[in-house]
Amino acid sequence: MAFPHKTVPTEELMPAVKALVNEAPCAGFALGIPNRWGVESGRGFTDSSAAILAFKEKLEQEFPNLDVTLVDETNTSEEALQSAIRSGMKKSKRSQKGAVDDVAAALILQRFLNERRR
């Protein structure tokens, strides 16, 4: 099972990524995007697609020797919420910013790892 490092506010994201890459070996990045297949075919863009694709370009420019793989994140927030409920996470904890996001990040990373095994 995959585990996320931590949830980082958007404005702190690139410095946090740079620090992680400098701290430990990094094979690349798994970047969640809604409806990956629709986006890759030029259809199915969502409100967040442009920002995610711009961040992908920024990662590719900053780290040209590392792969940046788009991973479909469709339904991961709902799956994360249901997983948190099944695991007994209290409603007050689930409502805290980042609690469900951490679970969704783990699901996205696990999807990436599962796709690589195929």
79 and 59 in one domain? Answer: no
Query: What local confidence, expressed as pLDDT, does residue 108 receive?
Result: 85
DSSP character string of 61-87: HH-TTSEEEEEE-TTHHHHHHHHHHHT
84 and 66 in one domain? Answer: no
117 and 81 in one domain? Answer: yes
61 and 48 in one domain? Answer: yes
pLDDT averages per 10-residue partition of the chain, 118 residues? 77 94 92 69 68 93 95 80 80 71 83 84
Cβ(8)–Cβ(18) under 8 Å? no
Query: What local confidence, expressed as pLDDT, does residue 39 receive?
Result: 54
80 and 66 in one domain? Answer: no
| Predicted TM-score of the model (pTM) | 0.76
Residue 92 lies inside a defined structural domain of this protein: yes
68 and 32 in one domain? Answer: yes
68 and 83 in one domain? Answer: no
Give the domain extent around 103.
Answer: 75-118
Query: What local confidence, expressed as pLDDT, does residue 81 receive?
Result: 78
65 and 85 in one domain? Answer: no
Other C-beta atoms closer than 10 Å to the C-beta of 28 total 13
81 and 51 in one domain? Answer: no
87 and 67 in one domain? Answer: no
Query: What local confidence, expressed as pLDDT, does residue 43 receive?
Result: 64
Angle between helices 76-86 and 99-117 (to 10 degrees): 110
Residue 52 lies inside a defined structural domain of this protein: yes
101 and 68 in one domain? Answer: no
Query: What local confidence, expressed as pLDDT, does residue 107 receive?
Result: 85
Angle between helices 49-62 and 13-23 (to 10 degrees): 40
Query: What local confidence, expressed as pLDDT, does residue 116 receive?
Result: 82
